[in-house]
Amino acid sequence: MTCQNTLSCLDQLVDNELTDEKKAQVMEHINACDKCKKEFEELKQIKYLLSKVKTNEPSEEYWSEVTGLINARTLDVEPVDSDYRSHTEQLSIKRNSLLRSIISTAAALAILFTALLLGSQQNQVSLAQIGTGSPVLATADVRDLLSSDNKALFSANDQRHLAQGMLLVGIPGVLGRFAALPELMIITE
Amino acid sequence: MTKTIPELVNSFVGGDENAFAELIKRFRQKIYSIGFQMLGNHLDADEVVQETFVRIFKRRKELANVKYFSTFLLRIATNYSIDLLRRKKGHRIIAEDSCNLPGEIQLTLSKRVATPSEEFANKKLLEEIKRALTNLPPKQRLTAILHDIEGYTKSEIADMFECPEATVRSNLHIARNKLRKILRRQIKKGE
Ligand SMILES: [Zn+2]
């Protein structure tokens, strides 16, 4: 057995992969050769130390948290089969969210038109007072906008600004909500 | 009755969420451990665990043609660990000369570990080897971790890496030799 032969099978020796016969030959050389013996001892040591490296097991709390996160992250994943259970669940979640969008959009539009309507009524109130002395189209709500001496608390300009503000806030919001529509159409097909 | 892995995989592919949960439960610690040893901290190990299971979920269609679920899963985990390590370390390359050390440096490792009374030295050596591992290139590091820490066989590692067993042997040999040299140097510095 030469040094070269011995060194070439040191890994197999420490991994216990040699036949008994081969192992005996290698050990015989190692016991007689300081250079190879040193290499062998060091390699054995490395393997021993690595075998002592351990990973702590995380807590049950961590595992239940991480399992929840994995489940949440796989919710949006396109399933393999079209009849897969969570597919219908997913669709119903998306439909509900669209419904909520439509309702909130309608609510935003309602507020916008109320603001515009208030603006026009205010003008009519002023006109009516000039003409007949009593407000023709005024409602209780509009009267709240008048001070005790029947002067408008909000000028026509204020109301125009309010309406413009509503449009600025409202339009991107409405567009944003309906931007999700194409995605939903694809899934529905 | 406890379900076998192939039974669970079948149910999982068929859309059974409980089977997926059970598979996570059976493999999570293995994946966590590989992530932890490769990246060296809990947060990155956590990322490896999450990403591995999210990816297996996305690719579950492929499982019908997979022989061993564990190999497929561990391949995803090891590939992701390597990617993450490369992203974290950027393009850091270990200087070659760090491994060329004078032959006369004496490594007294074997004596220290062999003596049971030298507990402190053992602990210190354990820290040293963990540090030495971080100096290896990703593939060699992973091979040493999988074989010598996690206890996978060379053929299992070859299947994970989709490479010949000879490549695993050579990676392991290079890794152990580098560890030996790095450890010698660290011990020399510490003295
Ligand atoms: Zn020799």
* Global ipTM: 0.82
Domain assignment present for A66: no
A73·B179 Cβ contact <8 A: no
Best interface-test mutation with B: which of A50, A63, A73 has the largest number of B CBs within 10 A?
A: A50
Q: Which domain holds residue B107?
A: 5-190
Mean pLDDT by 10 residues, chain A (189 residues): 94 96 96 96 94 93 95 75 48 59 68 65 48 45 50 62 63 54 47
Domain assignment present for A8: yes
Q: For chain A, how many structural domains are there in total? A: 2
Q: Tokens 């057995």 sit at which residue?
A: A1
A66 in B contact zone (CB under 8 Å): yes
What's the CA-to-centroid distance between B26 and ligand 1, angstroms?
Answer: 46
Which stretch, A129-138, B50-59, B97-106, has highest mean pLDDT?
A: B50-59
Q: What is the CATH number of the domain that holds B95?
A: 1.10.10.10
Indicate the residue among A13, A32, A52 that finishes a domain.
Answer: A52
Is pLDDT of B91 > 50? no
The dihedral formed by the CA atoms of A85, A90, A91 and A95, expressed in degrees to the nearest 10: 150
A113 in B contact zone (CB under 8 Å): no
A·B CB contacts under 8 A: 96
Question: Range with the lowest mean pLDDT among B10-14, B65-69, B123-127, B172-176?
Answer: B123-127
Per residue in B119-145, pLDDT (tens digit) is 777 788 888 899 999 999 999 999 999
Q: What is the CA radius of gyration of chain B?
A: 19
Question: Range with the lowest mean pLDDT among A32-41, A93-102, B99-108, B176-185?
Answer: B99-108
Q: For chain B, how many structural domains are there in total? A: 1
Per residue in A36-69, pLDDT (tens digit) is 999 999 999 999 999 999 998 999 999 999 999 9
Instruction: Calculate how close chain A gets to B7, using CA atoms only, in Å.
Output: 18
Decide: pTM greater than 0.80.
no
Among chain B residues, the shortest Cα distance to A78 is held by B58
| Residue B159 vs residues A37, B30, B70, B73: alpha-carbon distances, Å | 33, 16, 10, 11
Q: What is the CA radius of gyration of chain A?
A: 41
- What is chain B's mean pLDDT, rounded? 85
Indicate the residue among A34, A52, A70 that finishes a domain.
Answer: A52
Domain assignment present for A130: yes
Which tokens is A160 given? 């125009």
A66·B46 Cβ contact <8 A: yes
User: Which amino acid is it at A135?
Assistant: P
Per residue in B145-161, pLDDT (tens digit) is 999 999 999 999 999 99
Ramachandran angles phi, psi of A9, nearest 5°? -115, 20
Contacting residues of B for A65, CB less than 8 Å apart: none
B42 in A contact zone (CB under 8 Å): yes
Long-range CB contact pairs, B153-160, < 8 A, 24+: B156/B71, B159/B68, B159/B71, B159/B75, B160/B71, B160/B74, B160/B75, B160/B78
Contacting residues of A for B115, CB less than 8 Å apart: none
CA angle (B170 as vertex; B166, B173 as ends), nearest 5:
140
Q: Which domain holds residue A35?
A: 3-52
Distance CA A115, CA A168 (A): 13
B38 in A contact zone (CB under 8 Å): no
Domain assignment present for A99: no
Is pLDDT of B28 > 70? yes
A140 in B contact zone (CB under 8 Å): no
What's the CA-to-centroid distance between A47 and ligand 1, angstroms?
Answer: 20
Q: Which of B33, B53, B113 sits opposite A48 (nearest CB)?
A: B113
